[in-house]
Amino acid sequence: MALRLKLGNYETQYVDALGRTWVGYFPRMTEQEAWESGRGLWKMSSERAARQRFALIVGEGLVRAVGEITTLSVHSTPTGQRVALEGHVLLEGHPVRDAWVGKPDPVDNGSQNPIGYCELPEEQPFLLRPCACGCGEDAERDFKPGHDIRAIQARVRDHFGSSPLTFITWIDATLANDSTSRQRAS
C-alpha cells in the first residue's frame, strides 16, 4: 500500500521542525516543492506509515509528487508528536511516479482526513526488497520477522565479544559523546 497525503492551502508559518517557512499547495509548484510541503509534519501512526514504501502528495485533487519513503522522523510540536517522511521524490521514468503524477487523488473518498492509504498496481514490483540482515531472502519490510534480532546478535558477537553488556555500554557512551559534541557546537 502507499501513503496519500493531501495538502491544504498554501500558508506561511514560522520555521517548523523541518525548517520550512510555508506549507500547503500552491499552483505551479514543482514536484520537489510538493514533496517538501507534504512530507511532514503529520499526526499519524508511525508504525503504519513505516510499512509504506511510496507516498503520494495531493494538492487540489491531483497527485503533485510521488516520493519513496526511506525512514520516518518524529518531532515534538506545540500540539504534540508529529511524523515526517524522510526520502526523495521519484524522478521521471519511475513507473509509480509516471502512473500517478497529474492524476486524480486515488483516495478521493470524501473524507476530510488528509492521510489515506491505497494499493497501487504499479508499486507491486517494488514491495519486496532484500532482507537487511543479509540472509538473501526478500522481505516487505527492512527485515523478515525475527531477522532484525539475528542481525543485532551477529554484530554483538562480531564486534563486542558476544557481550550484550559491552554493546549497551558502548551505545550509552557513544550517545553521551554525541550529545556533548552537539551541545558544544551550539
- Is the pLDDT at 128 greater than 80, yes or no? no
> Which pLDDT score is estimated for 123?
85
Over pLDDT 70: what percentage of the chain? Answer: 96
Residue 132: inside a domain = no
Of 130, 105, 2, 116, nearest to 54 by C-alpha is: 2
Nearest to 75 by CA among 20, 144, 113: 20
User: Is 84 in the same domain as 115?
Assistant: yes
Looking at the structure, tell me whether residues 95 and 177 fall in a common domain: no
pLDDT digits (tens, 9 = 90+) for 21-33: 999 999 999 999 9
In a domain, 133, yes or no: no
Task: Answer yes or no: do 28 and 102 share one domain.
Answer: yes
pLDDT band of 66, cuts 50, 70, 90: very high
The tally of domains found in the chain comes to 2
Do 43 and 105 sit in the same domain of this protein? yes
Under the banding of pLDDT at 50, 70 and 90, the label for residue 75 is very high
The pLDDT of residue 185 is above 90: no
pLDDT band, very low/low/confident/very high, at 139 (cuts 50, 70, 90): confident
Between β-strands 2-6 and 40-42, what pairing exists: parallel, antiparallel or unpaired? unpaired
Residue written as cell 558544544?
A: 184
More confident residue, 143 or 4: 4
In a domain, 146, yes or no: yes
pTM of the predicted model as reported, rounded to 2 decimal places: 0.72
Q: How confident is the model at residue 13, as a pLDDT? A: 82
Residues 16 and 78 both lie in one domain: yes
Residues 118 and 158 in one domain: no
Whether 149 maps to a domain, the answer reads yes
**What is the extent of the structural domain holding 178?**
138-185
Residue 83, domain member (yes or no): yes
pLDDT reported for residue 129: 79
Query: Do 46 and 11 belong to one domain?
Result: yes
Q: What is the pLDDT of residue 89?
A: 97
> Do residues 43 and 5 lie in contact, with contact meaning Cβ atoms separated by under 8 Å?
no
In a domain, 120, yes or no: yes
Same domain for 30 and 54: yes
- Of 92, 96, 48, 101, the C-alpha closest to 72 is 48
- Residue 11 φ/ψ, nearest 5 degrees: -155, 145
pLDDT at 174 over 80: yes
Burial class (CB in 10 A: 0-12, 13-18, 19+), 55: buried
Query: Is pLDDT above 90 for 109?
Result: no
Residues 111, 37 within the same domain: yes
Q: Is residue 18 part of a domain?
A: yes
- Contact assessment for residue 138 and residue 131, using Cβ atoms and an 8 Å cutoff: yes
